[in-house]
């Protein structure tokens, strides 16, 4: 993979994360009045497909463009304001989640792709992401950690579904374009 191809793949994945926020493809049933966004699906996909470094770079590129004022976050949000919302911990956790997800894919390279992606998405996209997001809520909204955790429980089923979706999608992409799963090469 040349540096230029690598750059284009990173950019396309960043655009993919943005596009998922606009498509109602993955709008899961609304729970507790808080819509579940597909964007963390994009983060899991970036890590699982691009590997740790490129995956994290794709997410960082996405966040940088959001900070510049392009409304790429779900619901047409963007600008610096999004970094002042209680969910800022999740935004900070996004690149780390992609990094860990990609690294787990490397570790589980010899496992079947569905299992490897599922485990990587759960560890990177749920455990690591929540480890950043929940303290973020606790600090920004001045709640206790258990309180913030309780507030997040409504999202957990959706995120588990997203991990399964990531595994199914990466499996399908591997059949069509094995060369695009950079994390397993």
Partner 1 sequence: MIGLYLEKRSPLHLVPAGWKLLALALASLVLFPLRDPIVLLACLAVSLSGYALLGRQGLAALRALRALALILAFVLGLHAVLGSFQTGLLVALRLATLFLLASLITLTTRMDDMIDALRPVLRPATWVGLSERRLALAIALVIRFTPVIVDMGSRLQEAHRARSGRKGHVKLVAPLCLQALNAADHVAEALAARGGAAPELAGEPGGTGRLEGREGDADQMDTNR
Distance CA 171, CA 166 (A): 8
Judged on CB neighbours under 10 Å (0-12, 13-18, 19+), 120 is buried
Nearer to partner 1, 127 or 142 (CB): 142
- Tell me how far, at minimum, the Cβ of 68 lies from partner 1, in Å: 5
Nearer to partner 1, 74 or 123 (CB): 74
**Nearest approach, Cβ of residue 4 and partner 1 (Å):** 5
* Residue 26 or 131 with smaller CB distance to partner 1: 26
Give the residue with the Cβ less far from partner 1, 49 or 101. Answer: 49
Q: Are 47 and 180 in contact (CB under 8 A)?
A: no
d(CA 117, CA 165): 10
| Under 8 Å between Cβ of 60 and 66 | no
Which residues here bind partner 1, judged by CB under 8 A? 1-5, 7-12, 14-16, 18-20, 22-26, 33-34, 41, 45, 49, 61-62, 64-65, 67-72, 75, 77-87, 137, 140-144, 147-148, 150-151, 161, 165, 168-169, 172-173, 176-177, 179-180
Among candidate residues 92, 122, 90, the one with its CA nearest the CA of residue 105: 122
């Amino acid at each position: 993979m040349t540096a230029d191809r690598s750059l284009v793949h990173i950019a396309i994945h960043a655009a993919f994360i943005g596009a998922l926020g606009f498509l109602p493809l993955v709008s899961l049933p609304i729970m507790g009045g808080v819509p579940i966004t597909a964007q963390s699906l994009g983060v899991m996909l970036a890590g699982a497909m691009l590997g740790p470094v490129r995956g994290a770079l794709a997410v960082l590129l996405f966040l940088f463009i959001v900070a510049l004022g392009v409304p790429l976050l779900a619901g047409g949000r963007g600008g610096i304001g999004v970094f002042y919302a209680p969910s800022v911990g999740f935004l900070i956790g996004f690149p780390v989640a992609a990094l860990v997800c990609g690294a787990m894919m490397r570790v589980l390279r010899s496992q079947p792709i569905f299992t490897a992606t599922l485990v990587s998405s759960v560890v990177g996209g749920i455990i690591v992401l929540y480890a950043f997001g929940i303290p973020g809520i606790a600090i920004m909204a001045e709640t206790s950690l258990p309180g913030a955790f309780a507030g997040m429980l409504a999202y957990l089923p959706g995120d588990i579904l997203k991990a399964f979706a990531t595994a199914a999608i990466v499996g399908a992409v591997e059949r069509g374009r094995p060369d695009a799963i950079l994390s397993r090469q």
